[in-house]
A and B are shown apart, each in its own frame.
Chain A
Amino acid sequence: MPPNDDHPLQREMLQGTLDLLILQSLVPGPAHGHTIAHVIEHRSEDVLQVEHGSLYPAVHRLETRGWIASFWGTSENNRKARYYRLTAMGRSQLEAQTNNWDRLVRAVNRVLRPAE
């Protein structure tokens, strides 16, 4: 059973956003949880602070859906770390979700700035 599918719209949106960001951060190549969080914070110029408490459940959810896959590897500073990579399904999901996101942003913008 897909867990926690009955969340209110607002949380659903935010959660979906985190999923999108995680997927996007894996596009260049496999990464471990710490790197994922860093990449998101860095790219958003620290605007988006990843709550680490929700990063791992989100990663787990994406993995059970089959959008990402994991393996244990050795990190850049010689530590054991669990790496994640995009699956084919994840790649197509990323595309679809990115389109959705663009449409949402455009729609919100049209509402917020009707004059332009």
Chain B
Amino acid sequence: MEWLRFVRRKSWDEERARELESYLDHEIADNLARGMTAPEARAAAQRKLGNETLIREEIYRMNSLGFIESIWKDVAYALRGLRKGPGFTVVALLSLALGIGATTAIFSVIYGVLISPYPYARPGQIWAPVILDPQNPGRPFSFHQIRDYLELKKLPPFSETMATMPENRLLTGDRAPENFTSVSVTANAFQFLGVAPILGRSIQPSDLGPDGQPEPVIVLSFGAWKRLFDSSPEALGKRLVLNDQPYTVIGVMPPRFGWWTNDGGWLVLPEDPRDTRSVAAIMRLKPGVSPQAAEQQLQALHLRLAQEHPQDFPKGRFTTKLNNYLEITAASGAMQSSLVMLLGAVGFLLLIACANVANLQLARATSRAHEISVRMAVGAGRGRLLRQLLTESVVLSAVGGVLGVLLALAITKVVVVMMPDNYVPNEAVIGVNSYVLLFSAAVSVLTGILFGLAPAIKSSRPDLVDALKDAGRTAGAGSGGRTRNALVVAEIALSVVLLMGASLTVRGFLQLQQVAPGFQADRVLMMGVQLSPKRYVTYRQRVGFSEDVVAALSSIPGVQAVAIGNGGLPYAGQRSTYSIEGQPIDQSRQFALCLISSGYAQTLGIPLRAGRDLSAQEVARVDPLALINEAAARLWPVGTNPIGTRVHVDMLEKLPPSVPVPAASTPDMTIVGVIADTHNDGLRNPPAPALYLPYTVIATTGRTLAIRSAMQPTLLLNAVRERIRGIDKDQPLGRPITLEEVLGSETVQPRFNMALFSFFGFLGLALAAIGIYSMLSYTVARRTHEIGIRMALGARRGDVLRLMLSMAGRLVFLGLALGIGASLALAKFLRSEVFQVPGTDPIALAGVVVLLTLAACLACFVPGRRATKLDPMSALRHE
């Protein structure tokens, strides 16, 4: 090992010293033998040996690794240089910290939400089977009957299989009844997922009896533990009564564990082939088994099972697919798209920061051309100089990287607070973790090399003679000036693109704010009621309960109107094809169906445009009458009045057999009224054609209530709870929410986008302004001599200012033009939900131009003024 010499050179040197000492002894002995006196003998010996230290030094150098030695020198030199120019150092560090910090923060969020959202063991190796029915491509089957799951589990390609069945149970006992999410999992689930409990134990295979019947035990989520037991360790061994059956609490999971629920608990799934409920299965594959091979075996099993009990599988041909769990469940859609766009934005920010630092470096290198040529003239090698300049850049970016990580911690925290929760998986935890640190370290070092290289190559190739003559004193904007100008233009162009993105999100958000929803959202309270299908079995029981609730709530003082709506509160529900009496059938068109009680339009504040509302008696009798909205009315031929015509609703013929329906029902409905359009398909989409039917056409267990109040709607909560408890004391209520909150959640994502894009857009603008500022002040400093001559020859202050401003103005204009061109070109490619308005929006464009021009003027002002304040005499003397 060659380099070992380097480590051992200290002991080597001592060894050599001893050896030389022994040589001297020999020589002295010889000399004494030749008859010299002792001092003579020593002097002669030393003369013969020569300079002992020099010999040792030569050997020492032979053992050293020059590379490592000089790196230390370079680093020390770089630090000294940075301390000597504090202005440069501060601006460069700030640029870098902002660029690296923002990139790291956004990458942290992306890592937590998209790349590694789960705490489970090897989440990338979990597979979930799905049955695809070509007849019904939008509705994949992802559930298996328990008896099918028991067969599937035995297939050879799977090393481990688990199943999950989510259910709501009624939690009673000595507390207010509530709907409790209890997820039944197979007894091996916690081993499969590989997460340890923080208290007690998790479910074990021994919790399932040999007969396939489970022990009555429950593992609580962190949320349920906190809510029900105040995070007390006493919870272990306590009993919870779910659907009248007691379960013993055996353990509590950590906060990040959120398998299908993060505020409920987990029970043991019975493995009884007679049980007719369905479960969702996931599995891991044996090593070396490809997903395709497993898919084939699974498909073969499905085909066999479909022959045994065809009712559980799609009719006709179907295929089986294994999906990677990570791919199907990580945040997708709007959130994914906005995070990826944000990463692009901060990438631009990083580029701007790099351009800024490169520009500063280049300016510095130019003013150091003299120093460099002196060093080259006295014999410094080009490679050696290059390396030293590069070391400076890397040292700078390393310090910037550390600052950037600190900044990233802060930005990440802010982003997490602002992030809408329902876009992120239960289990996701976002923080600056070691992977992200690694990423940011890589970014900072790469940045250093990137911006260190260009100026380094440039300044290590100066024309020695010219530089030594200090040609720089009189030179205007030389070739170094061209590179600097190009960098400033690039910076401006990049920040224009960033600002365009920000400007578009702001426009989109404002437009969304201006959308009138079509109903009066203030003072409306909404609440879901879920009946127990075992306690409310018949049609009469279920509809009777709803009627009682509407009557009871209407009598609360301060309540103006009460309505039931399934779908349509405020967003439309299921869709159905239809046919209008006397018109040709068009299967491609659909109505959104809303099941309503009398007073629906009044409760939500939707004006009636024609005809009349349904009366309470008509709804109770299930008369075949219906309302439509204006969008639906436009589907009738022009000139015909929809009121009085009949519509055949296909969905009413295909009701699921398990849900009770009234004795006499018909799918043909007569239109009696037209109400105004509402944004029933989300604020961003046009109103969908909707048909409003009496809610009594079907007796589902779930109903949504809307209550219009004369005052602050949440003040009614206690009264509402009391009245419903008066009807059925064991009936839990869903979480109440106001209509305004529902609408607010529509704008959460756009607000998130707007805030972050604007933040990064302004950072980019600030960096670009710093770039313009430093470029111009550098130029003024360089051209002091020239300005002095101009003024001595009669130029006025105005002329000097114009000279400076026209130079900056050209760059700003060029950058602006390039940036706008680039963002228009990008807008063609980036069709994203993040931007609600087209990329060519003129108002957004105008905003960007005004902002950038203002910032550029500000950046030019100080150095421009400095140029005009120059005293010609001292400027001429300026060296």
Q: Choose the segment among A10-18, A51-59, A86-94, A101-109 that binds chain B (4+ C-beta atoms closer than 8 Å).
A: A51-59
Q: Choose the segment among B52-60, B266-274, B619-627, B745-753 that binds chain A (4+ C-beta atoms closer than 8 Å).
A: B52-60
CB distance from B534 to the nearest CB of A (A): 84
Would you call B50 an interface residue if the criterion is a C-beta within 8 Å of the partner chain's C-beta atoms?
Answer: yes
A contact residues, range: 20 to 34
Complex Cα gap A56–B15 (Å): 12
Complex Cα gap A3–B66 (Å): 10
**Residue of B whose beta carbon sits closest to that of A2:** B2
Would you call B49 an interface residue if the criterion is a C-beta within 8 Å of the partner chain's C-beta atoms?
Answer: yes
Chain B residues near A33: list those with CB within 8 A.
19, 22-23
Given contacts A61-B62, A64-B5, contact A77 B50 (CB under 8 A): no
B contact residues, range: 20 to 34
Would you call B27 an interface residue if the criterion is a C-beta within 8 Å of the partner chain's C-beta atoms?
Answer: yes
Chain B residues near A81: list those with CB within 8 A.
19, 22, 26
Whether the pair B48, A60 counts as a contact (CB closer than 8 A) is: no
Complex Cα gap A57–B58 (Å): 7
Whether the pair A53, B22 counts as a contact (CB closer than 8 A) is: no
Would you call A32 an interface residue if the criterion is a C-beta within 8 Å of the partner chain's C-beta atoms?
Answer: yes
CB distance from A102 to the nearest CB of B (A): 29
Chain A residues near B29: list those with CB within 8 A.
77, 79
Whether the pair B50, A53 counts as a contact (CB closer than 8 A) is: yes
Whether the pair A51, B50 counts as a contact (CB closer than 8 A) is: yes
Given contacts A64-B5, A64-B62, contact A53 B25 (CB under 8 A): no
Given contacts A60-B16, A81-B22, contact A53 B51 (CB under 8 A): yes
Given contacts A52-B48, A61-B62, contact A32 B16 (CB under 8 A): no
Chain B residues near A53: list those with CB within 8 A.
49-51, 54-55
In the complex, the number of residue pairs spanning A and B with C-beta atoms less than 8 Å apart equals 58
Which residues in chain B, 642-687, are within 8 Å of chain A measured between CB atoms?
none
Would you call A110 an interface residue if the criterion is a C-beta within 8 Å of the partner chain's C-beta atoms?
Answer: no
Chain A residues near B27: list those with CB within 8 A.
34
Chain A residues near B330: list those with CB within 8 A.
none
**Residue of A whose beta carbon sits closest to that of B12:** A60
Complex Cα gap A77–B49 (Å): 20
Complex Cα gap A115–B876 (Å): 77
**Residue of A whose beta carbon sits closest to that of B2:** A1
Chain A residues near B50: list those with CB within 8 A.
51-53
Residues 54-72 of chain B, each 1 if its beta carbon lies under 8 Å from chain A, else 0: 1100110110010000000
Would you call B20 an interface residue if the criterion is a C-beta within 8 Å of the partner chain's C-beta atoms?
Answer: yes
Complex Cα gap A82–B14 (Å): 13
Given contacts A53-B54, A60-B16, contact A3 B26 (CB under 8 A): no
Given contacts A52-B49, A53-B50, A53-B54, contact A82 B22 (CB under 8 A): yes
Complex Cα gap A103–B410 (Å): 76
Chain B residues near A1: list those with CB within 8 A.
2, 65
Chain B residues near A75: list those with CB within 8 A.
22, 26
Which residues in chain A, 20-38, are within 8 Å of chain B measured between CB atoms?
32-34
Given contacts A4-B62, A64-B5, A64-B62, contact A57 B55 (CB under 8 A): yes
Residues 623-646 of chain B, each 1 if its beta carbon lies under 8 Å from chain A, else 0: 000000000000000000000000
Chain B residues near A32: list those with CB within 8 A.
22-23, 26
Within the complex, which residue of B15, B16, B23, B58 is in contact with A34, where a contact is CB–CB below 8 Å?
B23
Within the complex, which residue of A52, A60, A80, A82 is in contact with B59, where a contact is CB–CB below 8 Å?
A60
Residues 1-31 of chain B, each 1 if its beta carbon lies under 8 Å from chain A, else 0: 0100100000000011011101101110100
Complex Cα gap A80–B23 (Å): 10
Chain B residues near A57: list those with CB within 8 A.
55, 58-59, 62
Chain B residues near A3: list those with CB within 8 A.
61-62
Complex Cα gap A116–B159 (Å): 91
Whether the pair A56, B62 counts as a contact (CB closer than 8 A) is: no
Complex Cα gap A64–B12 (Å): 11
**Residue of B whose beta carbon sits closest to that of A49:** B48
Complex Cα gap A77–B15 (Å): 21
Complex Cα gap A34–B59 (Å): 18
**Residue of A whose beta carbon sits closest to that of B67:** A1
**Residue of B whose beta carbon sits closest to that of A50:** B48
Whether the pair B25, A79 counts as a contact (CB closer than 8 A) is: yes
Whether the pair B22, A80 counts as a contact (CB closer than 8 A) is: yes
Whether the pair A56, B22 counts as a contact (CB closer than 8 A) is: no
Chain B residues near A82: list those with CB within 8 A.
15, 18-19, 22
Complex Cα gap A64–B61 (Å): 13
In the complex, the 4 A-B pairs of residues with the closest C-beta atoms, listed nearest first: A53-B50, A34-B26, A3-B62, A82-B19
Known: A1-B65, A61-B62. 16 other contacts (CB 8 A): A3-B62, A32-B26, A33-B22, A34-B23, A34-B26, A51-B50, A52-B48, A53-B49, A53-B51, A56-B23, A64-B5, A64-B62, A75-B26, A79-B22, A79-B29, A82-B19
Give me 29 A-to-B residue pairs in the complex whose CB atoms sit less than 8 angstroms apart, sorted by A's number.
Answer: A1-B65, A3-B61, A32-B23, A33-B22, A34-B22, A34-B27, A51-B50, A52-B48, A53-B49, A56-B20, A56-B59, A57-B55, A57-B58, A57-B62, A60-B16, A61-B62, A64-B5, A64-B62, A75-B22, A75-B26, A77-B29, A79-B25, A79-B29, A80-B18, A81-B19, A81-B22, A82-B15, A82-B19, A82-B22
